[in-house]
Each structure stands twice: as structure tokens, then as C-alpha cells.
A and B are shown apart, each in its own frame.
Chain A
Amino acid sequence: MHERADRLAGNFVTVDENLAREFEARLVESSTLAFRVAFSVLRQREDAEDIAQEAFAKAYRSFRQLRDRDRFRAWLVRMTWRMALDRQRSNRRRLIREQTLELDRAQTTNDAVVAQERAEQLWRAIDALPEKLRLVIVLAGIQEHDIREVAVLLDVPDGTVKSRLFLARKQLKERLSWMVTDTSTK
């Protein structure tokens, strides 16, 4: 009887160890993905890292259902995106960051100011996209994901990703062109 119990306990340990090993592998390969998804929303390193960390903690709680690699990454992207949006809504630091950027701009060179301005325009244009288009363009821009990879991450057909990418680029270009026109007329 004791022998059986010992053997059973031994099995549990093995299972836990396997689970821990698999989770470690997912953590190593997907931490940058989670961080960048969060960063695309929050644009603040510390906040993005906090969100990535929380998303992994949540993933760990449900890891028995997320052992499949694709499923795990898709879940992680969705969870990180949602958590980042929630954080963005309630984030006071954003205001402080924007104030800091203004200060930084005053101290940097002319070229750097132009580059920074362009980056801000692009971020604003991305922020103004509908959520579905925004997520697609961000995921396509992270780690050079191709259409297939983005489709797997979002659990949608390749064609949907293609059409969303097309629309997102079109809207981005339009918005950017208006921003450039506005700036040049000023």
C-alpha cells in the first residue's frame, strides 16, 4: 500500500516537473512577444514589463489548458493586450511620461526632434485605428511575424489577416499624410 502511494507521489512530482519545464520554455520564447504587445499599447517600459509579468502569472495558473505552444502564445497575446488596455485607461503615469517627453525634446538635437515627432505621429495614427486593425498591424510589426503567424496568434484565417493589414496600412497612410500636411502648413 505504502509502496503504491510512494509511486503515485513520484508520478505527481514528475508531472509537475514536466509542467515547469514546459512553462520555462514558453517563458523564454514568448517574454519578448508579451512585452512588445504591452509596450505597443502603453509605450512605457516599466508598465509593459509589469503587464507581461502579470500575464505570465495568469498563464501559469491556467497552464494545464495552455500546454500547446500556439494556443499558449495566442492566449498570451490576447491576455496581454487586454491587460495593457485596462492599464492604459487607468494609468496616471501616461500624463507624466508625456510631460517628460516634452522636456526631453527641448534638450535634444534637431534631427532627434524630427525623428521623435515622426514616431509620435505614427503612434498616434496606430492608436486611432480600430482595435482589430491595430492589433494586426502591431503583431505584424513585432519580430517580423508573417501573415500565417499573425493568423495563428489571433486564431483567424490568413485571409482575414491580409484584409485587416491592407485596411490598417491604408488608414495609417491616410492619417499620416494628413498629419504631415497639417505640420507643413503650420
Chain B
Amino acid sequence: MDGHRHVDQIDDASLDREIESLLAVEASPDLPARVRARVAEEPAPRVWRVSWMLATAGAVAAVIAAVIVWPSRQPAPDVAPVQEPRVAEVVRPVTPLPVAPEPPARRHTATARVTPVPAERRAVDIDLPEVIVAENEVKTFAALVASVRQSRFDVAVPAAPDADAPLVINAMPPVEPLEIEPIVKLAARQTEGERP
């Protein structure tokens, strides 16, 4: 209680004045001179432009040196070893995919890259892991393909196999190329009275 009375007695202004008078200490007049002398011992700070120019010049010199020295260090090859093409080791024949014709504008710019590659050369010599597909999914997929052939879209999924039943590994059924009519064309035919 007594302490609170004292707190009220000291106002902010007088406290600030007291602190200011405590801190109103002057440094000796020779302080700037001493700082100058101290700073004179320091190496002069360089501006960034100078250091950047030096760094850039160094980098350019290093690149030029590398370009000049590198080819001379590489021994000239005697005779290039002839390698058997790995095409002979093809493990799985890949069905060639129908290549859609490119629009003329793109073909003009990317001719070199879009050159078709023969099917046997596209084969990749890697062992892919066996894909395990559940029996009901195989049936669903087959049914879906069949329904699309008849211009329908059935996605009824048969019941999943019993989890305790022994696992049967099925290969995915081969898929022949499908021809899907655009929706607009199909709708036009339907309005004319045709049933798909």
C-alpha cells in the first residue's frame, strides 16, 4: 500500500528528467579522433561493384581456361568399338500404337524429334514386375470394353473375391483398338431416331 503511494508520487516527466540527467554524459572531445585513428587501421571497405567486377572477371577467366584446357586433355579415341544393337535382346514385343497425324504447324517446327521409330526399336530392355489384378476387376474391365464396343457405358463392378480365397493371377485381356464416336455426332444420330 505504501509502495503504491510512492509510485503515484513519481510522475513520468520527473522520472524521464532523472534518466536524461543520468545519461547526459559527454564523451571526451578526442573520441572522434580516436575512432578515426582506429578506423585507419582497418582495411578500406570496397564497394560491391569492385568485388563483383573482380568475381565476374575471375569466373570468366576460369571458364575460358576450362574451355581451352579440357579438349586437349581428352585422349583421341583409337577406333570406336562397334556395339551390337540391343534390339536383338528384346524381351517383349510391343504392339505399335497408332500414331495420330500431327497438325501441320507443329510438324514444321519439330520434324527432327517426331520422326517415328520402328516398333522393334521402341522396345525397352527392362524387366517389368508382374502386374496382379483382382479377378472382379478383370471382369469389369472386359465388360466395360465390350459395352463401349456397343456404344454403351456399363460400369457395374462384380463383387470382390473372397479375401480368404487363394489368389488367382490374371493377365489383363488384350484390348483391340477402339473407335469412340464423338458425343456430338452420337447425339445427332439419337435425335434422328436411331438407337445405338
Interface on A for B, CB 8 Å cutoff? 12, 15-16, 19-20, 23-24, 27-28, 31-32, 35-36, 39-40, 45, 48-49, 52-54, 56-57, 60-64, 118-119, 122-123, 126, 137-138, 140-142, 144, 169-170, 172-174, 176-178, 180-181
The reply to whether A35 and B27 contact each other, CB–CB distance below 8 Å, is yes
Q: A27-B36, A57-B42, A177-B10 are in contact. List 8 more A-B contacts (CB 8 A).
A: A31-B32, A32-B27, A53-B38, A169-B15, A173-B15, A176-B6, A177-B7, A181-B6
Q: By DSSP majority rule, is chain B's interface helix, strand, loop, or mixed? A: helix
What are 30 A-B contacts with C-beta separation under 8 Å?
A12-B50, A20-B44, A27-B35, A28-B32, A31-B32, A31-B35, A35-B25, A35-B27, A35-B31, A39-B23, A45-B28, A52-B27, A52-B31, A52-B35, A53-B31, A54-B38, A56-B35, A64-B46, A64-B47, A122-B22, A126-B19, A138-B23, A140-B19, A141-B16, A142-B20, A169-B12, A177-B7, A177-B10, A178-B6, A181-B2
**Cα A48 to Cα B49 with chains together (Å):** 35
Of all chain B residues, which has the CB nearest A66? B45
Are B38 and A57 in contact (CB-based, < 8 A)? yes
Q: With a CB–CB cut-off of 8 A, which chain B residues contact A142?
A: 20, 23
B3 within 8 A of A: yes
* Nearest 5 CB-CB pairings of A with B: A177-B6, A141-B19, A35-B27, A56-B35, A173-B7
Contact residue among B5, B9, B22, B34 (Cβ-Cβ distance under 8 Å from A141) = B22
B31 A31 Cβ-Cβ under 8 A = yes
Q: Which of A20, A27, A141, A176 contacts B10, CB < 8 Å?
A: A176
Residues of A near B36 (CB, < 8 A) are: 24, 27
Flag if B45 contacts A19 (CB, 8 Å).
yes
